[in-house]
Amino acid sequence: MSRLFYPRLAATSIRKNAKTYLPYMLTCIITVAMFYMITSLSMNKGISELRGSASIYSVLSLGSWVTGLFALIFLYYTNSFLIKRRKKEFGLYNILGMEKRHLSVMLFFECLFIALVSLVIGLTAGVAFDKLAFLLLLSLFDTKIPLGFEFHWGALLSTLLLFGVIFALLYLKSLFHIHLTKPIELLKGSAMGEREPKTKWLLAILGLLCLGGGYYIAVTTENPAAALAYFFLAVILVIVGTYCLFAASSIALLKFLKKRKRFYYQPRHFISVSGMIYRMKQNAVGLANICILSTMVLVMVSSTLSLYCGLNDIMKTRYPRDILMHTEDCDNASVEALNQAVDSVLGQKNIQEKNRVAYTGLSFGAMQQGSYFNTNPDSTDIVDMNAVVDLVFLPLESFHQLSGTDQVLNNGEILIYSDDRSYPYDTLEVFDLKFTVREKLEQFEQYDLVTANATGTMVYLIVVPDNAAIEQLDQLQQEVYGENASAVEYTLGFDVDAGQGPVVYRELKQTLDTDGRSVRLYCREDQLENAGALYGGLFFIGIFLGMLFLIATILIIYYKQISEGYDDRERFEIMQKVGLDRTEVKRSIRSQVLTVFFLPLITAGVHVIFAFPAITRILLLFGMTNKLLFALCTLGTFLVFALFYALVYGVTAKIYYKIVSSSPTRADE
């Protein structure tokens, strides 16, 4: 026997199974290329010249971890399709006299070929497109950095290592499969598992409960900080729920339909209901995977896209003025000195300032219990994250300056304002102080300015009569919060003409530093670049992983269609023999395939709709308040995704029909 026998046999069998192997190799190539790209990007030195490079690096390396993990899971999954399809072939070899160890050698060469081809092509493509990805990243930051061709040995090594391990694992798995099964079972391999599934009521109910719970949490959690924490719980619940839903609830529903005789025994329902039961059983996990992947793509791309698009808005909200400074030195002399320093810098540089605001204020968090604001979280058993609010206290004097009004407050009286929820009570208690609400303000134009630093959506702006009241509150909150206490701050901010922000910022910074003042100074333009780096990086990762997941979705769909095509061919033939029209069969199968195909997309859409409120609140943490923008981004992402999805459907449906109608009976017509 020639030494080349096994390699040749392996090569032939890959070629003969091109229909299933080609997409698999394509998957391997794409995952290799993408992993190399993201890993090499995370090592790219050019990025260090960007502003906020640290956050970009960390986002990119996170992306490379996710890609690696995903590659492992996904290749494992697609490989199992292949093994299932080829069981019969292995069985035949086995019966023709190839022992299992010979099969192992052949499989080894197959695996080796695939690994070599995918690594060589994948890495070549990765190196080639690496630059492209980097340019895309740069274009997201509106930056131009001349950059040569970069090649990273580190990225190459980690790619080789990761995929070496993955391919070895896949080979071991195939061996395991072959060694465990008897030749006869191998021969029947792909025909196994045709039993009608039992209704798993427990699982079905669990699925509905999980899904309902996840949705409930996503919709009802109102506090952004809480939303982030609960969101992960909701995500897990929804994932579990989706799997249960596809695996059990769908079958339970179909079986219920089957029991309804008048409905079931109609030509259209008869074939599709019984067929669907089997399809759901075989495809439940695959469909749930598609659904979850689709949801991830949608959520990721839409949220990062809206962050990226809303960057300017976000920065406007977070930094209401071009130049902002905060200081804890609130005594009159310090404030006066600060204002003078600012004036002199502006005068020196001959720069016009606009929209100058200044105020003193104190803000801290508390847990709302009716009209009582609890500042001691340990005092209650249940910490209700939804009840956590921000309290912003302003002395009347600052309020007058900001609003241009001239209300009067007596001792122990307050004015209160909140953005969306009216405060229903007539009193307000915090610590052991009790205030009477003199007026609930209808309108306060500088609200956004005052609450720019607040993290929650629920912010109460409370105006107290004088600085003494502020100081009293400050002392009390320092006692309670200790190290975590905030402080009374004087805030000064103003706008300048476009492009002058950084100039003023640097000059002011120098002046204040030499004066030895502890002032936190922000320049919106500088912050914009920093945040742009982070959000641009996130958006890049969103697109990158979105593409990866999209490819995965396409591949899963493709394999599903192929393996179902082979299964359906037989049924298709029998039904025709018994007297079903060819067109009727085609219609019935089409409707089943359509349902199975678009079920995950629709479910993903529903997931996204329910996730929408929660994500909106999480985006608030990033300062993203523009709900309309996010809604538009989500809608746009969904439409683009659906378009791709439909495109894939069109292509794979064609292949599917080709397989199904390749039956010998009346094939000539």
Partner 1 sequence: MAILEVSNLKKVYTTRFGGSHVQALSDVSFSVEQGEYVAIMGESGSGKTTLLNILAALDRPTSGEVRLNGKNIVTIREKEISAFRRENLGFVFQDFNLLDTFSIKDNIFLPLVLSNKSYQEMNRRLMPISARLGISDILEKYPYEVSGGQKQRAAVARALITEPQLILADEPTGALDSRASDNLLELFNQINADGQTILMVTHSVKAASSAKRVLFIKDGEVFHQLYRSGTAEEMYQKISDTLTMIATGGARYE
Determine, following the binding rule CB under 8 A, whether residue 267 of this chain makes contact with partner 1. Answer: yes
Compute the distance between CA of residue 111 and CA of residue 629 in angstroms, rounded to an integer: 48
Question: Does residue 274 interact with partner 1 by CB under 8 A?
Answer: yes
What's 386's DSSP letter?
G
- Whole-angstrom distance, CA of residue 327 vs CA of residue 141: 32
Q: Is 580 in the site for partner 1 (CB under 8 A)?
A: yes
Is residue 664 involved in binding partner 1 (CB under 8 A)? Answer: no
Please report whether residue 275 would count as binding partner 1 according to CB under 8 A. Answer: yes
- Which of 151, 256, 265, 425 binds partner 1 (CB under 8 A)? It is 265
Residue 190 C-beta: closest distance to partner 1, Å: 14
Is 661 one of the binding residues for partner 1 (CB under 8 A)? no
Q: Is 278 in the site for partner 1 (CB under 8 A)?
A: yes
Question: For partner 1, which is the closer residue by CB, 3 or 577?
Answer: 577
Tell how far CA 299 is from the center of its chain: 5
Q: What is the DSSP letter of 484?
A: G
CA–CA distance from 649 to each of 5, 18, 242, 292, 555 (Å)?
40, 20, 22, 18, 11
Any residues with CB less than 8 A from the CB of 152 and at least 6 apart, and which? 39, 40, 43, 44
Is residue 586 at the binding interface for partner 1, with CB under 8 A as the rule? no
Structural contact between residues 380 and 368, judged by C-beta atoms closer than 8 angstroms: no
Could you count the other beta carbons within 10 Å of the beta carbon of residue 442?
A: 7
Residue 297 corresponds to which amino acid?
V
Q: What DSSP designation does 248 have?
A: I
- Report 92-111 residues binding partner 1 (CB under 8 A): none
> Which of 448, 485, 584, 621 lies at the binding interface for partner 1 (CB under 8 A)?
584
Work out whether 201 is an interface residue with partner 1 (CB under 8 A): no
Q: Which stretch binds partner 1 (CB under 8 A): 192-200, 312-320, 334-342, 618-626?
A: 192-200
Give the C-alpha separation, 612 to 597, whole Å: 24
Among 77, 129, 270, 481, binds partner 1 (CB under 8 A): 270
* Residue choice 202, 574, 639, 646 for contact with partner 1 (CB under 8 A): 574
Nearer to partner 1, 253 or 642 (CB): 253
Contacts of 607 (CB under 8 A, 6+ apart): 238, 242, 291, 295
Q: Of 380, 372, 346, 381, nearest to 430 (Cα)?
A: 372
Other Cβ atoms within 10 Å of 186 Cβ, number: 23
- CB-based contact 445:399 (threshold 8 Å): no
Q: Which of 51, 200, 440, 571 binds partner 1 (CB under 8 A)?
A: 571
Does residue 581 interact with partner 1 by CB under 8 A? yes
Interaction between residue 194 and partner 1 (CB under 8 A):
yes
Listed ranges 60-68, 95-103, 573-581, 638-646: which one lies at the site for partner 1 (CB under 8 A): 573-581
* Stretch binding partner 1 (CB under 8 A), from 128-136, 198-206, 261-269, 320-328: 261-269
- Of residues 270 and 657, the one with the C-beta less far from partner 1: 270
- Give 390's DSSP letter: E
Of the candidates 68, 70, 42, which has an alpha carbon nearest to the alpha carbon of residue 130?
A: 42
Query: Closer CB to partner 1, residue 187 or residue 388?
Result: 187
| Shortest CB 583 distance to partner 1, Å | 8
Site for partner 1, residues 237 to 256, rule: CB under 8 A: none
277 forms part of the interface with partner 1 (CB under 8 A): yes
* DSSP H or E run through 439: strand 433-440
Residue 196 vs 426, nearer CB to partner 1: 196
- DSSP label of 460: E
* Residue reference for tokens 């919709």: 219
For partner 1, the binding residue among 2, 149, 180, 195 (CB under 8 A) is 195
| Residue closer to partner 1 (CB basis): 249 or 592 | 592
Pull the structure tokens for residue 456. Answer: 């929650």
Binding positions for partner 1, rule: CB under 8 A: 194-196, 261-262, 265-267, 270, 274-275, 277-278, 571, 574-582, 584, 665-666, 669
